[in-house]
């Protein structure tokens, strides 16, 4: 099913305003979801909105939003109050700065969205600005889902990708991780040389389609087996051995990788081919 736009508005670059639609670039349908049940009778657990003061369940019509400004004291905001907050970003993504597309540290990225022109008239301007942005990333703001986001946009194939970003104040400094204080700042050149050789042996063209969610597949297999009245025996999980001698571990790793590369690939392909021939 084609994705539905979650936002409509304009992408503004200087005096150029392009009508656009925003589509989520990710989906959660691949995640296996569970319901909470009462183990005794397998009835779904209900989540009720309960008022401890009135000692009764509260319907949605009686629920309001409150901000706690002191312990136990709230100021209540109505929908009219929220409507009064209308920054320009509720209708326009105004790109106020451009930089090289490598300037965004991945740690700032929150979610990804696709931008597309809203209507045939907007397509030409959309395509021109997309081409003009190649190699660059634009920074702006967008009001979405009840809050204003810092966003980055960059061209991708025939479209434009937008990333919502964390603000700098939301990012914890790596210096806050006390365990890193014990990490040595000096390393042995011969160990680094071996480490680079091992890492280099794993280099190759990256295609994320080659990677699957093995945990989800295994969980689905268990669910299917339980539905069919079968049981799956869990494989034994080996605990990785502690590295006592780093140099020895590096040499063994490099030797293992080298032997694996020398193993001819034809041997593993020949058997399935032979089976297919006998089957025919």
Residue 30: pLDDT band by 50, 70, 90 thresholds? low
Q: Are residues 154 and 198 in the same domain?
A: no
Q: What pTM was computed for the model?
A: 0.69
Q: Are residues 86 and 188 in the same domain?
A: no
Token pair of 276 as six digits? 């297919």
Q: Are residues 130 and 14 in the same domain?
A: yes
Q: Are residues 10 and 101 in the same domain?
A: yes
Determine the pLDDT at residue 217. 79
Determine the pLDDT at residue 270. 40
Residue 63, domain extent? 1-26+52-167
Q: 72-81, 133-142, 221-230 — which is least confidently predicted?
A: 221-230
Q: Are residues 2 and 126 in the same domain?
A: yes
Q: Are residues 78 and 193 in the same domain?
A: no
Number of domains in the chain: 2
Do the domain assignments include residue 278?
no
**DSSP-derived secondary structure letter, 61:** G
Average pLDDT over residues 72-89: 78
Q: Are residues 9 and 147 in the same domain?
A: yes
Instruction: Return the percent helix, strand and coil in the chain, to nearest 5.
Output: 35, 25, 40
Q: Are residues 78 and 4 in the same domain?
A: yes
pLDDT at 170 over 90: yes
Question: How far is the C-alpha of 250 from the C-alpha of 253, rounded, in Å?
Answer: 5
Q: What is the CA radius of gyration of the chain?
A: 28
Residue 276: pLDDT band by 50, 70, 90 thresholds? very low
Q: What is the CATH number of the domain that holds 143?
A: 2.40.290.10
Q: Are residues 149 and 188 in the same domain?
A: no
CB proximity list for 108: less than 8 A, separation 6 or greater: 165, 166, 168, 171
Q: Are residues 97 and 197 in the same domain?
A: no
Determine the pLDDT at residue 29. 63
SS3 per residue for 151-201: EEEEEECCEEEEEEECCHHHCCCHHHCHHHHHCCCCCCHHHHHHHHHHHHH
Cα-based distances in Å from 47 to 39, 65, 185, 196: 16, 19, 52, 53
Q: Are residues 109 and 133 in the same domain?
A: yes
Q: Are residues 138 and 111 in the same domain?
A: yes
To the nearest whole percent, how much of the chain has pLDDT over 70?
87
């Amino acid at each position: 099913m084609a994705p539905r736009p979650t936002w409509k508005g304009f992408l503004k670059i200087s005096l150029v305003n392009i009508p656009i639609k925003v589509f989520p670039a990710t989906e959660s349908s691949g995640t296996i979801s569970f319901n909470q049940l009462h183990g005794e009778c397998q009835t779904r657990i209900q989540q009720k909105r309960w008022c401890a003061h009135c000692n009764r369940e509260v319907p949605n019509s009686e629920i309001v939003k409150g901000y706690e400004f002191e312990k136990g004291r709230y100021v209540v905001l109505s929908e009219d109050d929220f409507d009064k907050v209308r920054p320009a970003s509720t209708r326009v993504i105004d790109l106020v700065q451009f930089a090289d597309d490598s300037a965004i540290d991945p740690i700032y990225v929150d979610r990804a969205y696709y931008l597309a022109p809203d209507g045939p008239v907007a397509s030409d301007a959309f395509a021109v600005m997309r081409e003009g942005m190649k190699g660059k990333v634009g920074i702006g703001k967008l009001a979405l889902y009840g809050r204003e986001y810092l966003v980055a946009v960059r061209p991708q194939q025939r479209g434009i990708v937008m990333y919502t970003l964390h603000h700098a104040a939301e990012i914890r400094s790596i210096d806050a991780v006390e365990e890193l204080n014990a990490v040595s700042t000096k390393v042995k050149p011969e160990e680094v040389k071996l480490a680079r050789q091992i890492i280099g042996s794993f280099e190759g063209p990256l295609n994320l389609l080659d990677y699957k969610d093995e945990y989800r597949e295994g969980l689905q297999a268990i669910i299917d087996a339980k539905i069919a009245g079968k049981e799956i025996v869990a494989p034994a999980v080996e605990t990785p051995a502690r590295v006592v001698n780093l140099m020895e571990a590096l040499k063994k790793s490099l030797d293992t990788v080298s032997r694996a590369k020398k193993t001819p690939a034809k041997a593993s392909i020949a058997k399935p081919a032979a089976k297919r021939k006998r089957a025919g």
